[in-house]
Amino acid sequence: MAEYIERIKLLKELTKDRDDLHKMGITGMTLAAIKRAIRKTEEIPTADVRPERHGRWTDTSINLYDGSSERGYQCNVCKDIFFVEQSEIVYYKFCPHCGAKMDGKEREK
C-alpha cells in the first residue's frame, strides 16, 4: 500500500536543515543535495488523499411511520443507517456513505 507524507512538513524540515548547514558554513555537495531535495519535493505531483477512518457496524432499529420498526446497521463514524439483512452486512467492509473501514477499531478523532 502506498504511503503519503505532508509536503509542507517535509519542506519545512529540509529548509531548516539547509539553513542550519548554511549557518555552520557548510557548502558544496551537502548543501547542493539538500537544495536538490527541496526542488524535487516541490516538483513531485501531489495526491488527493484523506486519513483512513476505522469504524464498526452497530445494530439499531428505526421506528417507522406506521408504528412498526425496522432493523438496520449504523456506521459509528458517520451515523448513517443501512437496512440490509444480518447475513449481508458482513459483505460491507467499508461504509458506502463515508468510506470508513469496518474493521472494528476505535473511531479516530
pLDDT tens-place string over residues 87-96: 677 778 899 8
Q: What is the mean pLDDT of residues 48-61?
A: 85
Contact 95, 78 (CB under 8 A): yes
The rounded percent of the chain whose pLDDT value lies above 90 is: 27
The rounded percent of the chain whose pLDDT value lies above 70 is: 93
Cα dihedral sign for 45, 46, 48, 51?
positive
What are the Cα distances from residue 33, in Å, to 5, 18, 24, 27? 20, 9, 16, 10
- In this prediction the pTM is 0.51
pLDDT tens-place string over residues 66-83? 888 888 889 999 999 888
